[in-house]
Structure formats: C-alpha cells, structure tokens
Structure 1
Amino acid sequence: MEALFTSTFTVAIAEIGDKTQLLALLLAARFRNKSAIILGIFLSTLINHFAAAWLGQFAFGWLDPQWASYLIAASFFAIAIWVLVPDKMDDDDNRFYKLGAFAATFMLFFIAEMGDKTQIATVVLAAKYDALSMVVFGTTLGMLIANVPVVLLGHFSADKLPMKLIHRLCAVLFALLGIATLFY
C-alpha cells in the first residue's frame, strides 16, 4: 500500500503545472468530448508508465542493492531540482488535433510523457518499491487526479494557483523521498 500511496501522491503533486497538465487544459479548450480526453489521458499514461515501471524494475534489478539505493536516492534529488524548472508547451501540437479528441490526447500525452519528470519518477518509484502494479496504478491515478479536474473545469486556469509554492513543495517531497531512500 505504501507504493500505491507514495506513487499516487508524488505524481499528483509533481503534475501540477507540468506540461501535460497544460496540454490537458489546451485539449479541453479545443475539444468538447471531455470523456474522450480523459480516456486518452488514462490509456496513454497507463501504457507509458507501465513501460517506465518495468524498465525501472528491470534496470535496477541488475545493480547491487546498495548501489541501486544510492542511484534511486540521487534520482529523487535530481527530480527535486528538475521540478523547479517550469515547463513550456510545444507549438507544433496542432497537427494532432485533426485526429479527434481521443487519438490526439492519447498521442500527445504519450509523447509529452517521454522523458518527463513524472515518467522518470515512475521508473525510480518502481525500482524503489519493487511493486510494479501498485506503482503503475498509483502513478496513473496521480496523473488522473491532477489532470481530470483541469479537463472538466478548463476555465479554471493554472495562473490562479501559487505555482512557485507548489513547485517548491514538490521539490521538497522528492528530496524527502531521496533522504528516506538513503536511510530506510
């Protein structure tokens, strides 16, 4: 249960102000079919995070447990710093809009998550907890917790949230995960 809770909470917080959350806002403004957008987010995240979690368990399975622990902690510290850098949207996403709400969302979210901090966090969380299904379920749930309200309440802008504070708190959370990894 710890893997599920930590994965959900960590990704939900890390996703606030992330480029995929901005993408959810753009898609909600572009398309009326909110359920297609939500389904696209769910499926692309599930597939993307499953691959990331599998990679995390596979790659870290080859390492000595003590070195893996150090690498996982260092990864959490790196993500803590990365979270402090604000994301920006790409301008060439418009070509996907002609595919419709579901396909555009699925493809854009899958691409946007490649190498994103939440995908990297999924790799690290899967390595730390060795509970693939709980980490994938948790990180996917965290993405939905952060993005579904944006899709449903598209008029509520991220500009109204204290983004610097949220990013700093998220950085502290990742740093605490790094510290906990070193000592537990």
Structure 2
Amino acid sequence: MDALVTAFVAAFIAEWGDKTQLIVALLAARSGRPGLVLAGLLVAATVSAAVAAFAGALVGATITIRAMSLMVALALLFAGVAGLFRRGTPSIGSARTPVLLAALLLCLAAEMGDRTQFITFAVAGRFDSPALAACGATAAIFAAAVPAAFLGDKLRAAVPLRAIRIAGAILFLVAGFIVAVHALRLA
C-alpha cells in the first residue's frame, strides 16, 4: 500500500503544470471532446507507468536497500530541479489526426523520460511493488489531467500552475534531501 500512496502523491504533485497536463488542456479545447482526450491519456499513462514500474522492480531486485533509497532520493531531487524550469506550450500537431490517437501519442511521448516516470521507477524498486506503483502513478496522472481536460484553455487562468509547480519542486527537493540523508545513515 505504501507504493500506491507514495506513487500517487508524488506523481500528482509532479504532473501539475507539466507538459502532459498542458497537452490534455490544448487537445480538449481544440477538439471539444475531453472524454476522448482523457481516454487516450489513460492508455498512455498506463503504458508509461507500467514500463517504469517494471524496470524499477527489476533494478530494485539487484541492488541493496541503501542504493535503492539513494535512487529514490535522486528521483525526488530530479523532480524538484525539473519543476523549477518553465514549461513551454507544447505543439499538438495536425487537426486531422483523430483526437484519441493524438492524445495517446502526444501524452505517451510527454511521459517518456519525464520526472513522473523516474519517480514511478524509484518507488516500484524501493517498495518492490511494481503493480501498486504503476496504479498509483497512473491514477495520479489521470487525476491531475481531469481539470485540464474540462477547463481547456482556461486552465492557466483558473489555476496558478506556476506557483503549484514551484511549490511542488521545493517539496521534492526537501524530500529528496531528507531521503538521501536517511539512506546514507543506513547500515
């Protein structure tokens, strides 16, 4: 259960103001079909989280708990640093591409190598629970995107994305530092 909750909370914070959320907002606003956009996102988030969790479990089984804790710290620090940089507005491609396919491909591309994927990798390895880590991350990505899908272009005006992104980055940096200190103290 720790993997589920940890992955959900960390991924939910990481997704606010992230490219995936912006892609969902833009696609939903352009198409007027937030349900299809969310369906494409759900498939992309599931694939991304499953790949990260499976890889994290494989690596976690081969290294010590101390090394895995340091990897979690590194993932949190990476998420914090990445959150300090401003996100540009992503390109959403051609209007001729079906909405579901566009959402799937664009969200999958945005999630690959993203800080949420690193966090999912580390959590799955640390708690040796890839299924729960993947479910938590997928649910968080989806939960963070729902307001974007229904607000569309109004998301930036309705939600202080920059402030949320910076506050989340600071939380990740502090948490990463604390986890690293505790990992270095393990015997």
TM-score by shorter chain over 0.5: yes
Q: Which runs of 5+ in 2 are unaligned?
A: none
Determine the structure 2 residue equivalent to 1:133.
Answer: 131
1:12-68 CA distances to partner (integer Å, 9 max, x unpaired)? Answer: 111111111110111011112221111111111001110011111112322232222
Alpha carbon RMSD of aligned pairs, Å? 1.9
1:90-109 CA distances to partner (integer Å, 9 max, x unpaired)? Answer: 43x314x4221111101111
Partner of 1:98, secondary structure, is coil
In the aligned structure 2, how far is the partner of 1:65 from the partner of 1:8? 21
Determine the structure 1 residue equivalent to 2:36.
Answer: 36
Contact between 1:79 and 1:117, CA under 8 Å: does it hold in 2? yes
Contact between 1:69 and 1:182, CA under 8 Å: does it hold in 2? no
Partner of 1:99, secondary structure, is coil
Q: How does 1:2-41 map to 2 (within 5 A)?
A: 2-41=2-41
- Residue identity opposite 1:35 in structure 2: G
Determine the structure 2 residue equivalent to 1:94.
Answer: 93
- Residue identity opposite 2:35 in structure 1: S
From 138, 143, 146, the counterpart of 1:145: 143
Shift of 1:127: 1.7
In the aligned structure 2, how far is the partner of 1:33 from the partner of 1:160? 20
Rate the CA distance shift 1:134–1:100 in 2: closer, same or farther, 3 A: same
In the aligned structure 2, how far is the partner of 1:28 from the partner of 1:57? 34
- Residue identity opposite 1:54 in structure 2: F
Quick one: percent identity of the two aligned structures? 28
TM-score (norm 2): 0.87
Contact between 2:76 and 2:175, CA under 8 Å: does it hold in 1? yes
1:72-125 CA distances to partner (integer Å, 9 max, x unpaired)? Answer: 21222122111111222343x314x42211111011111111111111221122
Determine the structure 2 residue equivalent to 1:66.
Answer: 66
Which 4+ stretches in 1 moved above 6 angstroms?
none
- Residue identity opposite 1:85 in structure 2: F
Shift of 1:155: 4.6
Shift of 1:167: 2.0
In the aligned structure 2, how far is the partner of 1:166 from the partner of 1:132? 28
Determine the structure 1 residue equivalent to 2:101.
Answer: 103
Contact between 1:7 and 1:125, CA under 8 Å: does it hold in 2? yes
Shift of 1:143: 0.8
In the aligned structure 1, how far is the partner of 2:38 from the partner of 2:73? 33
1:158-184 CA distances to partner (integer Å, 9 max, x unpaired)? Answer: 244333431232123323442246537
Q: Which runs of 5+ in 1 are unaligned?
A: none
